Amino acid sequence: MSELTMPSQVKNLMAKYGFSCRKSLGQNFLVDANIVNKIVGSAGITGNDTVVEIGPGLGVLTREAAAIARRVVAVEIDRQLIPILQETLADLENVQVVRGDALETDLNRLVYGENCSHPGSRPFIIMANLPYYITTPLILHILNGGYNFKVMVMMIQHEVARRLGAAPGTKDYGSLTVAVNYHAGVEFLFQVSRTVFIPKPEVDSAVVRLTRREKPAVDVPNQELFFKVVRGSFGQRRKTIQNALGSAFNSVDRAALSDILNAAGVEPGRRGETLSLEEFARIARGLAGLPE
């Protein structure tokens, strides 16, 4: 295990480069060898895999992943960390650090290059101790980006982890739950205490594994329409599904909407937050037959 899990060494390294952690970039560095091992171990990396790491920080996870993977490509937004990473990863030939914003990075291009299309290529693995300020947009960017990844192991706020795995009808269940489960299987792996970071974050964390589905969890005629149904249903949580969708699809008359809900097996007086993915999909299929 590298010296990057020793708090005193991490502090020395930061002092040597005059580096101070920036809260605005979610910079809380992991300094616990056991958690580092557990995260890297959960990604199922083999010697044939390419790992994309989002936000390598000082390189603690990068080093461990690089010891197993064929190649690691790490995207780091903070210019000040680049010379530090050049030092901490200097002995590793299979690591490439790219300075950039992960939210604006095309991960397929990063892995396969400019002209290489991904069909038939080996899917990659994504690993991240995510900067908390962009957790949701980054997850959605990755899931909606059409990227050829198979597994994403990430440390996120405990509260967001609960939302990803929430069941219909619970307070944590929402449009993020539906969006993530539509594209991926979700596993809550373990909790992480805030004491294993420098500096200590204000929230507890958890590690989750998303396994991308070969095809979406439910069959929908039109993905955009499906997500319009989902957003419409959760946008007004206190309304019945009939009223919430009546506002979101105001060109569909009330009786027709009621028929679609009944045909989908959804009682119009229910609240949107109690609906399963399959029920949202059945409504979207019913609406697809009508002009919007």
Interface residues with ligand SAM (CB under 6 A) are: 25-30, 54-57, 60-61, 75-78, 81, 101-103, 129, 131, 134
Q: Binding site annotation covers 219? A: no
- The nearest distance, CB 150 to ligand SAM, in angstroms, is 20
Q: Is the dihedral of CA 101, 133, 195, 21 positive or negative?
A: positive
- The nearest distance, CB 74 to ligand SAM, in angstroms, is 8
Our CB check for ligand SAM shows the closer of 81 and 245 to be 81
- The nearest distance, CB 253 to ligand SAM, in angstroms, is 45
Our CB check for ligand SAM shows the closer of 134 and 266 to be 134
- The nearest distance, CB 38 to ligand SAM, in angstroms, is 12
Which residues touch 137 (CB under 8 Å, ≥6 apart)? 103
Q: Binding site annotation covers 101? A: yes
Our CB check for ligand SAM shows the closer of 105 and 177 to be 105
Our CB check for ligand SAM shows the closer of 87 and 278 to be 87
Residue ranges at the known binding site for S-adenosyl-L-methionine: 28, 30, 55, 76, 101, 129
